[in-house]
Structure 1
Amino acid sequence: MVKDVGQDARGIIAPDAGLTQFRMDRFAPSTEINRLVDRYWLIRWDLDEPFTQRVYPHPVVNVVFQPGAGTVNGVATRVDSRELAGEGWALGVMFRPAGFRPLTDGPLTALRDREVALDRVFGSEGTGLSDAVNAASTAEDRIAEIETFLAARLPAGRHPAEDTAALVERIAANPSSARVESLAREERVSTRQLQRRFADHVGLSPKNVVRRYRLYEAAERVRHGTAVDWADLAATLGYSDQPHLSRDFTAVIGVSPGRYTQLCGAPAA
């Protein structure tokens, strides 16, 4: 089930302020397409003044359509800023972790921290999809064009990246207990083999993925108004102590846990 942004805003930094500036809707993929796609998202805005939203994207590929353009956005390694101005919309295809790998010929590290035109990946057919999405008049019609395009490119059998997708989603569901060495044992591979698999299928290391979902969990607890005991949360999320969590949070999110609490208007512990 696709949760709305009110329930799950992972990846959006201090989201409640942004949600006063733009509207975000989410749509579930069809049963056929959810092999590869987690959700579709649609952002619409109409602003008198520009607004900048900071995001720490999920460790996935997004294909994004805006008026006149379609781009493939590889997995990001850092927080990014998106400026919204005037009136506009953006429709995104958020793939499952590793879900874009069956559609490419090479490892997803090649797309890491890159935004490339759709035709660079899919040739003239990518241009045709972008044109069709822009010509459609409703979100449902645009998504239908995307689903038709993806359905024609689904692998006939199970792709190895689908096993990696399932593993990453287990990490996302319980990041506190995830350890790279134990994950490798679960998958019956060496740690080095797991690292190579993640580089190929996800574009990031397993350690980076685990850390990202731990920080999402911390940020969401603040955002939902919980008075966070950061020492207790550090232990819960698998950190050795509170300073390690605080350093990670500050280095990645760009503000300290205390400052983030203020930005979200949440109560202090």
Structure 2
Amino acid sequence: MTPYTAVAPPADLAGDVVLGWTTRLGGGTHRLVPDGCVDVLWLDNGSVLVCGPETAAWTFALPPGTEAVGVRFRPGRAATALGLDVPGARDRRVRLEDVFGSRVQRHVAEQVAEAGGARDRLRVLQEHVRGWSAEAPEADRVGVAVAGLLERDLSRPVAELARETALSERQLHRRCTAVFGYGPATLRRILRLQRFLRLARRPGAPADLAYLACAAGYTDQPHLSRDCRALAGVSPRRLLADR
């Protein structure tokens, strides 16, 4: 199993950032499942990439032993913190130089590479994120509101989200696409699958998929299976086994 370490963000970044992470990849193919987030990551081959929001799982393979560190933005926060064209980055890995220019790309890559270890590399990357966030405008109020509403209740229909934000459904879809990369219905599906994964991977969690599906907000187990295959490309049991 690939060693992956999640690190809570510094307090001043917690509004924009879910976590930082470090890893050294094992061999084979790795699967990443949509989570509503955008990551900025450094690879020890000198690359610095912005991983746009995903609508389906993607797989990749890198040489065994490749080191990586990353910062994961909360859903909707990368649009302002990075000035990112989020819809344009959907289902893509974008070079940092295409966001901030080649000088920034080189500066970030060199400074992270010069740090002494994984945690130090992460701290350097977080410092760059801190600078970008400090210069950014305020996060879109609609994106903040929708993310908060869905965090509290994933059963909310789009019409209710529109009423809560004082927008029409069409306006809501446009505003959500600008900050999340897709509309509120897609975000809700992705966050619901992530809730299922969190519930299923807790220590002592029951193995009953029907129970877990209900607890995560699905109407039934077939609903979970359909969404899981659509978003992750595999069945729920296969996804849980493929850690």
Sort the TM-score into its range (normalised by shorter chain).
0.7 to 0.9
Number of the residue aligned with 1:42: 22
SS at match of 1:71: strand
Deviation digits for residues 201-244 of structure 1, max 9, x if unmatched? 111111011011222233344434413252x5555555455433
Aligned match for 2:39, one of 43, 47, 62: 62
SS at match of 1:32: helix
Once residues 162 and 25 of structure 1 are traced to their aligned partners in structure 2, the CA distance between those partners, rounded to angstroms, is: 31
The change in CA–CA distance for 1:82 and 1:173 in structure 2 (over 3 A counts) is farther
Amino acid at match of 2:128: F
Amino acid at match of 2:98: R
Report deviation, 1:163: 5.1
Percent identity of the aligned residues?
Answer: 30
Segments of 5+ residues of structure 2 without an aligned counterpart are: none
Whether 1:214 aligns to 2:218 is no
Amino acid at match of 1:42: T
1:96–1:165 Cα contact (<8 Å) kept? no
Once residues 116 and 191 of structure 1 are traced to their aligned partners in structure 2, the CA distance between those partners, rounded to angstroms, is: 30
Report deviation, 1:71: 0.8
Once residues 80 and 264 of structure 1 are traced to their aligned partners in structure 2, the CA distance between those partners, rounded to angstroms, is: 13
Whether 1:226 aligns to 2:206 is yes
2:53–2:89 Cα contact (<8 Å) kept? yes
Number of the residue aligned with 1:11: none
Number of the residue aligned with 1:194: 172
Aligned residues between the structures: 239
Report deviation, 1:101: 0.9
What is the TM-score normalised by the length of structure 1? 0.77
Number of the residue aligned with 1:5: none
SS at match of 1:188: coil
Number of the residue aligned with 2:121: 142
Report deviation, 1:109: 0.1
Amino acid at match of 1:54: R
Number of the residue aligned with 2:90: 112
1:223–1:264 Cα contact (<8 Å) kept? no
Report deviation, 1:145: 2.3
The change in CA–CA distance for 1:160 and 1:152 in structure 2 (over 3 A counts) is closer
Number of the residue aligned with 1:72: 50
Matches within 5 A, 1:115-134: 115-123=93-101, 124-134=103-113
Aligned match for 1:248, one of 222, 227, 230: 227
Number of the residue aligned with 2:77: 99
Q: After superposing the two structures, state which structure 1 stretch, 115-124 or 104-113, moved more.
A: 104-113
Q: After superposing the two structures, state which structure 1 stretch, 118-127 or 136-145, moved more.
A: 136-145
What is the TM-score normalised by the length of structure 2? 0.84
**Structure 1 residue ranges (4+ consecutive) displaced by more than 6 angstroms after TM superposition:** none
Deviation digits for residues 45-96 of structure 1, max 9, x if unmatched? 4x5xx22221203112111101111111111111111325421211011011
The change in CA–CA distance for 1:163 and 1:136 in structure 2 (over 3 A counts) is farther
